Chain A
Amino acid sequence: MPYIPHTDADRAAMLAAIGITKLEELFDAIPAEHRFPPLNLPEALSEMEALWELQALASHNAVAPEYAIFLGAGAYNHYIPSVINHILMRGEFYTAYTPYQPEVSQGTLQATFEWQSMIAKLTGMDAANASHYDGATSFAEAVTVALTHHKQKRNKVILSPNIHPQYRAVARTYHQGNGTRFVGDKSGRATLDDLLDLLDENTAMFAVQYPNFFGQIEDFSNLAQKVHASGALLCIVTTPIALGLLKPPGALGADIVVGEGQSLGIPLSFGGPYLGFFAVREELVRKIAGRIVGDTIDSDGRRAYVMTLRPREQDIRREKATSNICTNQALMALAGCIYLALMGKHGLRRVAEVCYHKAHYAAERIAQLRGYHVNTRLPFFNEFVVTCPRPVAEINRYLLEKHQIIGGYDLSRDYPDRENQMLIAVTEMNTRAEIDALVQALEAAAQNS
């Protein structure tokens, strides 16, 4: 059997020590009629056969670099520096568990402390936690913080329709049992002023996305003041590469900043594992869920790191904990930490600039095409909305089959009134040749109707 080292002699000696003669006797407490049911599973494979089978499955997926990819909408095809995988593959990191015993976990603990530090600086906030499962669950946990902050006396959460639809959906799933009312995103057309009109003394949180789901940078300059006037907390959902350039959400007055860290050196991997980051103002630190690492000293006065504020957590507080989160995405946070260290102050800004310029080049070229319209009403970062002459699904099928291009996101999937609207993402991984090929293919797609 794979990975079971016991010899026949070992088994015999161990059974004798226990005082039984057969392995099956270990399970006498299980109701006899249900004991040892047949399992209908395929025959065990050898390692090479398993690899072949998985390679065969993987080969049925269309991926970069064979395909040019212009799909984003919350997950992005960024370059992953080689260093990251080499570090992540160290068994000392990936075969350890939650650092409950700090004396033998300083590696994970210090890396987490560094990750928290970088996320705090990047978002312009005071503190960050070790991570959540992904951007969407970070957002759902932000709602919990807001409800807790208001001692459950406010139950209304205002959602901009320009927040990622799946993030809004996850927040609703998480809070379906506690009476939270989510408002603002029903029609999909509400403006910031419409949303501000919904603010009242029952509002726990006001949430926007920056840049928004459509890639636009909305004007949030006076937003915090208005939100805070009602006593609500302001949550800004953001994306870390954009923050290489943009004013940090902390400077816009956010109380909670959350988002998806996948862009920071984590593969697309069909949606996970990703990395939810979570940052807050100082006064909210004790209300946040999830692991938090702080610095301290050991009994010899040396610097050390340790999980702190533990009494907030489920294993201690049980039903009084505000969240049940236990594991987080530690290894993914390590990837993010290495990415930010490698790119550094200059590199992150440079990636952001390259994405920005390439996206704008693509947008300008597409805007010149007959039948296509690019929405440039607001400044944008690396994603933009194109209104197409035909349904997006049809265009994407053409791009895929004739040009090996994975086109943008079909916005009508989440916003029925955004018929024919495609959300295109451009990153540093898209060469000019790819962008030009996309432009030509879109032109041909319009004519091929």
Chain B
Amino acid sequence: MTTQTAQAKALEPLIYELSSSGRKAETLMPKLDVPESAPLPAHLLRDSLELPEVSELDVVRHFVRLSQLNYAIDKGFYPLGSCTMKYNPKIGEDTARLPGFANLHPLQAPETAQGALALMYTLQQWLCEISGMKGCSLQPAAGAQGELAGILMIRAYHQERGDTRRTKILVPDSAHGTNPATSAMAGYTVVTLPSDARGGVDLDALRAAADETVAGMMITVPSTLGVFDENIQEIIKIVHNRGGLMYMDGANMNALLGVVKPGELGFDVMHFNLHKTFSTPHGGGGPGSGPVTVNEKLLPYLPGPIVAIVEEATDSEGAPRYGFVMPEKSIGRLKAFHGNFGMLVRAYTYIALHGAEGLKAISHHAVLNANYVRVRLADAYKVPYNRMCGHEVVIEGRFPDAPDIRALDISKRLMDYGFHPPTNYFPLIVHEALLIEPTESESKETLDRFIEAMHAIAREAREAPELLRSAPHTTPVSRVDEVYAARNLTLCCRLPSAE
């Protein structure tokens, strides 16, 4: 800590600052029930261990107080665009913690884990059905890892065919930052495609860029501008005709459940974000889960191992035997073991609770809510692509007659009204973007309150701009100085007394 932060008044002291030499929370270890062995040689041992010395009650109070400083879905409306902050059903927390799942070691023999394998197999099948694809790997730990898996599969596909000229991936300028970052990680050059006036891919630019050096294209559906590109089939055709493959970023799948299957549109590979679409909790920034599904072309390249039936059931009453298999030309492993299994249990639970009609209702109501917010905000904010949107809508957080006000000020002021702000400054191609994703689990009353707050803020922007520029006023801390943090870089506690 810098002197300034160390001396600053803290809402809650650091756990190290609560520490008192000699205090222990040690009711946790039983007495040693085996004879002590010869200790390790002294030169292998550490001299000191700078961890806190606190009581169990200190720990409980500290973390409960910290929790109270957070905003969360369980506290209120969280319209963070592109993140699908919908209600996380509590039952998922119970099912994921069933001892038969929670205590299962990942390297146990498949014979001792048939329940877990059956769950994974079924989830693979469900995700294939929902996306119109032929194969699935549950291994990716997050959407970004699903993207990496997808692009590495595309790469392996071309290499296998001896098609080594393909060095580029096309990415629309509205894309999530993970798309270009993923392409670069996989060794590709990124070609950024401009958007047209309606928020879709500029087809002329696409035609010009799509040549035989293009390995594939990554695109989000509906786009990050919140709109469904009417030319999607034409886009897919252009890329396919040049031998490229199509990757769908499934971040916005909450608009598409039972509405359209990406595989039927012609996509070759996509990822799901189980923490968005199937409502596994976001956890303050993870864990997520980013399964990939593919069509026949990419089946042999799936990251593995994946779950397969290794022996069919012998009679109609019996269960098949499940096991792990490595796809024939797999791109390899993406993480140790088998994916974020606990999130798979939650997603399975969520889909089981919904069925086909329930999933379809999710997307219908998510899109209904977003369009309702769109039309109700259009008289107070500029809506750059003001037509039927998907499950989210982008508006501009600026006013010609209040030039000092930026999207950030509107975001911060929303906190005073009790709401989490939308995503700000994304997509990058919209000036002062505010991306609003209400999700299906919010009621009309909640949306109306949010819309009223947005209208009130638009009035304040003209009448009392300072109220916005100095917002938030009611949060645990006032506006946080991000520049100070970067200039006075302190990433862990430095306690003079402890060192």
Contacts and interface: CB of A to CB of B under 8 A. Distances in A.
Contacts of B155: 176-177
B442 to A, nearest CB: 7
Nearest to A169: B333
B46 A18 contact: no
B54 interface: yes
Interface stretch (B204-212, B343-351, B398-406): B343-351
Nearest to A380: B40
A298 to B, nearest CB: 4
B34 A435 contact: yes
A57 B14 contact: no
Contacts of B364: 23-24, 26
Contacts of A198: none
Q: Which of B35, B36, B53, B491 has the most CB of A within 10 A?
A: B491
A239 interface: no
Interface stretch (A75-83, A153-161, A183-191, A441-449): A75-83
B244 interface: no
Interface stretch (A1-9, A200-208, A224-232, A366-374): A1-9
Contacts of A36: 258-260, 360
3 pairs of A and B residues whose beta carbons are closest in the complex? A271-B337, A58-B100, A91-B74
Nearest to B49: A345
B64 interface: yes
Nearest to A301: B8
Contacts, number: 691
A186 B93 CA distance: 42
A73 to B, nearest CB: 6
A173 B355 contact: no
B197 interface: no
A432 B113 CA distance: 26
Interface string B204-224: 000000000000000000000
B331 A217 contact: no
A87 B284 contact: no
Interface in A59-82: 59-65, 67, 69, 71, 73-75, 77, 79, 81
B185 A324 contact: yes
B181 interface: yes
A119 to B, nearest CB: 8
Interface string B251-289: 000000111110011000000000100000111111111
B283 A94 contact: yes
A136 B340 CA distance: 13
Q: Which of A17, A55, A92, A349 has the most CB of B within 10 A?
A: A92
Contacts of B176: 315
A110 B372 CA distance: 37
B291 interface: no
A27 B303 CA distance: 33
27 contacts: A24-B364, A26-B367, A40-B356, A51-B94, A51-B95, A62-B112, A71-B108, A96-B282, A104-B476, A134-B337, A173-B152, A177-B187, A269-B101, A271-B339, A272-B287, A295-B5, A296-B488, A298-B478, A301-B9, A308-B489, A327-B143, A327-B275, A338-B63, A379-B44, A400-B112, A431-B33, A435-B34
A342 B228 CA distance: 50
B63 A87 contact: yes
Interface in B356-408: 356-362, 364-365, 367-369, 371-372, 375-376, 388
B65 to A, nearest CB: 8
B130 interface: yes
A322 B40 CA distance: 40
B361 to A, nearest CB: 4
A95 B88 contact: yes
A302 to B, nearest CB: 5
A429 B146 CA distance: 35
Interface string A274-301: 1000000000010000011111111111
A389 interface: no
B452 interface: no
A412 B262 CA distance: 42
B312 interface: no
Contacts of A243: 46, 49
A18 B331 CA distance: 46
Contacts of B264: 34, 37
Contacts of B417: none
B332 interface: yes
B23, B67, B228, B265: residue with the most chain A Cβ atoms closer than 10 Å: B67
A61 B59 CA distance: 34
A10 B176 CA distance: 33
Interface in B112-141: 112-116, 118-119, 126, 129-130, 132, 141
Contact of A297 (B8, B75, B178, B190): B8
A268 B71 contact: no
A23 B69 CA distance: 39
A53 B352 contact: yes
Nearest to B91: A47
Contacts of A107: 66-70
B259 A35 contact: yes
Interface string B1-41: 11011001111101110010001111011101111111011
Contacts of A273: 141, 286-287, 289, 340-343
A104 B71 contact: yes
Most buried by B among A6, A10, A319: A319
B157 interface: no
Contacts of B24: 344, 346-347
A105 B375 CA distance: 30
Contacts of B368: 6, 11, 14-15, 18, 23, 26
Given A83-B56, A302-B10, A173 B69 contact: no
A97 B78 contact: yes
Nearest to B475: A103
Given A173-B303, A294-B491, A347-B29, A95 B349 contact: no
A323 B182 CA distance: 7
